[in-house]
A and B are shown apart, each in its own frame.
Chain A
Amino acid sequence: EAGVAQSPRYKIIEKRQSVAFWCNPISGHATLYWYQQILGQGPKLLIQFQNNGVVDDSQLPKDRFSAERLKGVDSTLKIQPAKLEDSAVYLCASSPVQGRSYEQYFGPGTRLTVT
């Protein structure tokens, strides 16, 4: 099966600019996650969707970050305006919601550099 797809792979922007990331999960996976991974740290959950509804966005900085998952498939994460501390890899992951599977499958990530 095809894995989780993300684009772009790399992005360099100046502070105060805006940026958007795209994620296409594994077909049939109802749950989608966005993580922020700062260099040298573990991934930190930003937002979780189940189908097109938000399950948890408690760690999403809502003054500058937004995310949507229209039609319960693809998702976009936006940052506006970006700050220097937003430099990180943004990982998308998906998981089937039914059954005993807890495994999350990660995409390759988007490396964001804010200058």
Chain B
Amino acid sequence: GENVEQHPSTLSVQEGDSAVIKCTYSDSASNYFPWYKQELGKRPQLIIDIRSNVGEKKDQRIAVTLNKTAKHFSLHITETQPEDSAVYFCAASMSGSARQLTFGSGTQLTVLP
């Protein structure tokens, strides 16, 4: 089955700096890669996703890049703000009726004011 590895496990940045979280996946058939943000005690919420026919996607301060050859994808947050502090999870999924998500182990991002 699919295996997703995520690093770093913790990341501290100064407010206004950029943050980068990286994930690798094992199954070359995976073609959908979402990123979820989970605040303490809250549900995971989708913040951005990318499909395998696209190399990069941006949404305001958030961007995701995908390298299918190397089987890795990354989340980039620019101009970080204290409210960006949370745990971020990457995930991978294949198309078809299943569309199951395999999650990474999470990155605790702390934005220092």
Contacts and interface: CB of A to CB of B under 8 A. Distances in A.
Interface of A: 31, 33, 40-45, 48, 50, 55-56, 91, 95, 97, 102-104, 106-109
Given A55-B97, A102-B34, A44 B103 contact: yes
Given A42-B4, A95-B99, 17 more contacts: A40-B106, A41-B105, A41-B106, A42-B6, A42-B106, A43-B44, A43-B89, A44-B103, A45-B100, A48-B98, A55-B98, A56-B98, A91-B44, A102-B99, A103-B49, A108-B42, A109-B43
19 contacts: A40-B105, A42-B6, A42-B91, A42-B105, A42-B106, A43-B44, A43-B89, A43-B103, A48-B98, A102-B93, A103-B46, A103-B49, A104-B34, A104-B101, A106-B44, A107-B43, A108-B42, A108-B43, A109-B43
Contacts, number: 53
Interface of B: 4, 6, 32, 34, 36, 42-46, 49, 89, 91, 93, 97-106
**Residue among B46, B93, B104 with most chain A CB within 10 A:** B46
Going nearest first, the 5 A-B pairs with the smallest beta carbon separation are A42-B103, A106-B43, A102-B32, A106-B44, A42-B89
A71 to B, nearest CB: 20
A97 B103 contact: no
Given A102-B93, A106-B43, A106-B44, A45 B101 contact: yes
